[in-house]
Amino acid sequence: MINVCRFGYGVLLAVLAAVFVQVATADTILCYQVFGGSRAESMQIMLRPNAIRIEGAALGPRFKWLLYKRTEDVLFAVSPAQKEVLVLDAAGVDYIRRNMRARRVRLQQEMEQMPSWKRKFLESQVGHLLEQREIGAVISHVEMKGDTAWIADVECQVGDIIAAGLQVGALCLASADTLGLANSAFDSYRRMYRLINGLERAMASGASDPEAPAMSELDGVPLFIVLDASGVVQILQRLIQQPLSDDKFEIPASYKQQEPQDLLEQVP
C-alpha cells in the first residue's frame, strides 16, 4: 500500500497522472484472420476514440485501407497506388443509392426492348444490379443464446444469425467494456459501420450476402463470425492495446480526393 504521508500528495498525484496518461493513450488493435473458400487473409481494425483504421480483408484490389473520423462522420477509402482517397459521408452514400436506383430502372427498361439472347447475356454480366427487389426480405438479425466463449483470451457472448426465420450463421460478441474500449471508441465503430453497411446496400442492393449482420446494429464487436452459405469465417487472433503513431490516422495531403460520382463511373 502506498503511504500517502511518506510520498506526499504531490508525488502521488504525479504517479497517478502518469498511469492515467499511459492508459488513455493506448489504442486498441483487433487482429483477425478471414477465411473464404481456399483463401485466408489478415485484417486489422485499429481503434481510437475518434478515429478507426481498417487494413486487410475484403477491401478489394483498389483500396488498401479505410479511415473513419468520428468528428467529421466521414469514411475515407485510401488507394496508395493511385495516391487517391474516396471520401464518403451520409450524403454521399445517399447520392450513390439514388443514382444506383435510377441506373437500375434505366437498365431494366432498356433490357425489356432487347432480343432475348442479348438480354440473357446482359443479365449474366450485370444481373446483380437488378436485385433491388430482394432487399428487406433478406436482412438478418442476431439472437443471443446466453452461452459464453473465449476467443484469443477474450470473453464473448454466442449468438445465431437469423434470416427469413432460418439460422444462416453464428457469431460471438464482446462488449466494449470487455475489449477496454471507451464509449466514444465504440460509438465511432458503430458510426463507421453505418456508412459501410449503407454503402454495401446502395451498391449491391440485395446482391450482397444476406447472411451478414449489420455491424452497426450489434451491441458489441464480433470476435468470431461464420456465414453458412458463403463459408466465410472471421476470427480474432490477437487483441493488442498499445499506442499507435498519429500518421496511421492521417491521409497524405498529396492524395487526390475522389467523390461518390467517381466511384459510380467505375460501376458497369
The residues near 83 (Cβ < 8 Å, ≥ 6 apart) are 252, 254, 255, 256
pLDDT at 208: 47
Mean pLDDT of 176-190: 95
pLDDT at site 5? 36
> Which segment, 106-110, 189-193, 210-214, is predicted with the most confidence on average?
189-193
pLDDT band at 80 (very low <50, low <70, confident <90, very high): very high
pLDDT number for residue 127: 55
> What whole-number distance in Å separates Cα of residue 21 and Cα of residue 16?
9
pLDDT score of 16:
33
Of 86-95, 130-139, 208-217, where does the model show the most confidence?
86-95
44 touches 31 (CB < 8 A): yes
pLDDT at residue number 155: 97
Q: What are phi and psi of 215, to 5 degrees?
A: -60, -30
Indicate the pTM of the whole model: 0.78
Domains of the chain plus CATH, in order, are: 29-264 (2.50.20.10)
- For residue 159, the one-letter residue type is G
Residue 106 · residue 126 · CB < 8 Å: no
CA distance 160 to 138: 15
| Short-list 75, 43, 39, CA closest to 56 | 43
